[in-house]
Chains A and B, each alone.
Chain A
Amino acid sequence: MSTLKVQNLSVYIEDKPILNDFSLEIPYGEVHAIMGPNGSGKSTLSKALAAHPNYDIRNGTAELDGHNLIDMEPDEISRAGLFLAFQYPIEVPGVTIANFIRAAIQARMEESKLFKAVDYYKKLYQKMDDLGIDRNFTARSLNDGFSGGEKKRCEILQMAMLDPKFCILDETDSGLDIDALRVVSAGVNSMRSSNRGFLVITHYQRLLDYIVPDKVHVMWEGKIVRSGDKDLASELESKGYDWIKEELAA
């Protein structure tokens, strides 16, 4: 069985420790949620696993399906099957959505294979319709001038098109109104399968009403301090994070 397996990971930003001896294992087919207050290291985890150059991994291992992520370049990690839906998707002026996703798909293809444009557009339009994205968006520059909601839908569109083995959703719910949240969640749920894993990072239990997790973890000062089922999210929602802090202090 394939897994995302993170063991004893320590991550620094400019010599400041953010993740500290962090461990987590997510088997394919499962959806895990990580919740935690601001600054607990949730986004650092996602950026570090994707090999963002500003995140300095000093200790530990991270494996995806047998690949050792620690020594890989960001694009190699992507092609190995890890997709990160960004909390703040980056604007890339002049590069259209259609061309960008096409290039990303071609980067995964064997050289001998022929890219079939007709099939590509058929699939692209289908996914755009599912996510309620206007078809005119194919010619728009990537994230350039998009609203918060449009950016998040565009992230899920890319995820659906690239068919990754493992998806990290970093605060995908932030900036979404309730209708957009439903559409985006439906997009994610339709991708749930026994050979794909998800890590959902969020502040709010609200998202987990739509994307129901198999497990919920609470992060605090760079570590997982509580794990449970989806009820843990509800408990956090009603009691707040202070409850965890008090328990940890006790």
Chain B
Amino acid sequence: MIKTNPIEVDREKGNFHYNTDYEFDAGIGLSEDVVRYISGVKKEDSWLQDFRLKALQTFEKKRLPTHWATNDLENIDFDVIRYYLSKGQMPSRTWEEVPDDVKSTFERLGIPEQERKFLAGVEAQFDSEAAYSRMKDDLTEKGVIFVGSTEGLKDHPEIFKKWFGKVIPTSDNKFSALNSAVFSGGSFIYVPPGVKLEQPLQAYFRINAENFGQFERTLIIADEGAEITYMEGCTAPKFETSTLHSAVVELVALRGAKIQYVTVQNWSNNVFNLVTKRAMAHEESEVRWIDCNIGSRLTMKYPGVILRGRKARGEVLSIALANDGQHQDTGAKMVHAADETTSNVIAKSVSIGEGRSTYRGLVQMPGHLKHCKNNTECDALLINSDSQTDTYPAITVQGEDHSVQHEASVSKVSAEQIFYMQQRGLSEGDAMSMCVNGFVNDLIREFPMEYSVELKRLIDLEMEGSVG
């Protein structure tokens, strides 16, 4: 029998924090002074400070997108958030140099082992800035750049300035404007023509301070024929008050390049996770977003691909788990802007307890283009009778030559399935976990192996206690 008890989620792995002294603290609330302070700490050029100040004005003018999403956004109090906290040091290149409290945090989260095992490079961001950043030496020799946003814009403007803020303009939405005003940290990556990274680069984002907003900025440029997989993980301790994470991630895949961007978001369930992610795909390039949203209070995130070169290909594979008190509002945007472009969206959501998951999809194919293709599948699984799901696909297709396919399904784990599995000896919880893993399994198979193992473990943790 499936019971509807409230669910205690075990997020203990990430639920701890150390008291930390910050050298730089922009104080509480948002103003021009705060923006100038952040820009000053970073010793930025005047164009960048102007960019930030203009973005602040845009942020103040823009309305919250509550008209189409959820009223929960209105609970964000921008005046009590701390916008910049850092210890002021440059990112360390060895674990030994990382300050002890920060090092303990990442060691507890298992970052050094992961780096040794399978990564080409790691960046670990603690609140506003990276505490550790290292890439294998042979990649530096090949001309790969893997730095933070400040370093990227300061040391390599000829590479990054051209695309910075171009894939996602400041005014895209209120939160992209906020990020543009106060961003710090994140990864700026450049992969030179023809360089193919065999191992992934990884960034790890950690919120440590209460009432803190994390606003990292990521820009990845894969030059012609280059290939890169980038992965990010996110955690935060459970504080009494809510926390804001609002990133902007821009990807640029030049002709024939391949970018795979993997996210496993496991924020604690008081984090507002409002992230804008978009890629520009040039001729014959491929961009693939793999997006897993497990934690947070409210996530609004719709990774997109602008297919602007002939035969470009975009893909979003998305998994969302919404537990009690959580709303995962996720999806994908595919803007076809050249002939023979193809896109594929597979989204699976699981709603547990009173959790709510929403799929929001956008597909655009204008009439002057030829032979574009889109396939969209979105499947929702409901665990309890109070679980919620909703789906809002927006598909605009003009012209004669395109092919569009949309499939959606909603299913519920039935009491008969659980009884059947229990009759073979599985406990009720194991049976439920197996059903959920079975539901997302074909999608997880597409993921890099290390992440599929981690994800299965996280799903099992989420399912614990979801049954009587």
Chain A residues in the interface with B (C-beta under 8 A)? 50, 52-53, 73-75, 77-79, 83-84, 86, 89-95, 99-101, 103-104, 107-108, 141, 158, 162
Contacts and interface: CB of A to CB of B under 8 A. Distances in A.
Given A52-B419, A158-B424, 19 more contacts: A53-B419, A73-B422, A73-B427, A73-B428, A74-B423, A75-B422, A75-B431, A78-B422, A84-B423, A86-B423, A90-B417, A92-B438, A94-B438, A94-B439, A94-B440, A100-B421, A100-B424, A101-B424, A107-B430
Contacts of B253: none
Contacts of B435: 92, 94-95
Interface in B405-430: 411, 414-417, 419-428, 430
B398 interface: no
A141 B428 CA distance: 19
Interface of B: 1, 411, 414-417, 419-428, 430-431, 434-435, 437-442
Nearest to A99: B434
Given A75-B427, A103-B430, A94 B442 contact: yes
Contact of B425 (A86, A91, A107, A141): A107
Nearest to B434: A95
A108 B424 CA distance: 10
Contacts of A86: 420, 423
A90 B425 CA distance: 15
Given A100-B434, A103-B434, A141-B438, A92 B428 contact: no
A55 to B, nearest CB: 10
Nearest to B415: A53
7 contacts: A75-B431, A94-B435, A99-B434, A100-B421, A107-B426, A141-B438, A162-B425
A103 B415 CA distance: 19
A77 B411 CA distance: 28
Contacts of B427: 73, 75, 107
Q: Give the one of B414, B417, B425, B430 with max A CB within 10 A.
A: B425
Contacts of B424: 78, 100-101, 104, 107, 158, 162
Contacts of B417: 90-92
Given A53-B1, A107-B430, A93 B423 contact: no
A137 to B, nearest CB: 16
B347 to A, nearest CB: 16
A90 to B, nearest CB: 4
